[in-house]
Structure 1
Amino acid sequence: MGFYDAFKDALSVAQKADNVELYRQLLDLSAQALDLQEENVRLKSENAELRKAKDLEARIIRHTELYITLKEDPDDLYYCAHCWDIDRRLVQLSCDNSDGTFICPHCHTTGIFNYGKFQSTQNEISEMGPYCF
């Protein structure tokens, strides 16, 4: 017999005994039990979200530039370290593979994710001279 069934039986007994005060107290107890049940559901949900965030945080790999990656990510995606630090939000960076730079579409943080490509692009620009544009 569950809590609800036991409580229902107790209410029935109190009503049959014509004990108004006991019946009133049981109704108050019922309201408190419902409040506790709602709080329990809320706390379980909050606990699950906190566990999920903690598990995600354990997967974060920080880099010298303002991007982060996730351990065991098959896609090897780059995320904004600034957005993660401020909002605990994973925002995928827009990476320009031609020059090795990135920009966050949310906070507009920029940086370099591939120094080899970036340096190569800078060398090409400097070889063109100052009036090539």
Structure 2
Amino acid sequence: MAIFDELKSAAAVLKEAGKIEQYEQILVVQKELLDQQKHIYDLEIENRALKELLKVRDSLEFRNGAYWKIGEKEEGPFCSRCWDVNSKTVRMRPGANRAFHGCPECKTSTQTDPGYQTLYVNRKPPSSCR
């Protein structure tokens, strides 16, 4: 880092010349420079995380009570509550009835296949009940 090296050289010259007050000012500037570099680094990490979050958000489609990742291969369902509240894509697990999925994180359950008919929907009662 060229600026830091230049400050270091100037500090050494000032120290040798007995200019302690100016030397201390250079040390303060060096510390500020390091603090600013750390701040920039932290902002770059946050920026990358936000870009990744936007990328995920743009790939999600809300359908049948859950989110689905749309792309080369469709993935899902992902819990709508976990995404809406925490921006976390939590894959939902199928329930005993394959039309329903549940979230292992927040325990939300949703019907992801509204067209699914159970075996009992169109079943006629036994003749003895008539």
Normalising by the residue count of structure 1, what TM-score does the alignment of the two structures yield? Answer: 0.83
Name the aligned partner's letter for residue 26 of structure 1: I
| Cα distance in 2 for residues equivalent to 1:88 and 1:73 | 22
| Cα distance in 1 for residues equivalent to 2:87 and 2:44 | 21
CA gap 1:83/1:122 in 2 versus in 1, 3 angstroms: farther
The reply to whether residue 61 of structure 1 matches residue 61 of structure 2 is: yes
| Cα distance in 1 for residues equivalent to 2:50 and 2:96 | 35
8 Å contact kept, 1:61–1:69: yes
8 Å contact kept, 1:101–1:110: yes
C-alpha deviations, 1:4-29, integer Å up to 9, x for none?
A: 22111111111122111110100111
SS, match of residue 101 in structure 2: strand
The reply to whether residue 78 of structure 1 matches residue 77 of structure 2 is: yes
8 Å contact kept, 1:83–1:91: yes
Gaps of 5+ in 2: none
Report sequence identity in percent: 22
8 Å contact kept, 1:70–1:77: yes
8 Å contact kept, 1:66–1:82: no
Name the aligned partner's letter for residue 113 of structure 1: T
SS, match of residue 18 in structure 2: coil
Gaps of 5+ in 1: none
Aligned length in residues: 126
Name the aligned partner's letter for residue 110 of structure 2: G
Matches within 5 A, 1:1-133: 2-63=2-63, 65-72=64-71, 74=73, 76-96=75-95, 99-117=98-116, 119-123=117-121, 126-127=123-124
SS, match of residue 83 in structure 2: helix
Q: CA RMSD in A?
A: 2.1
Normalized per residue, which structure has more helix?
1
SS, match of residue 76 in structure 2: coil
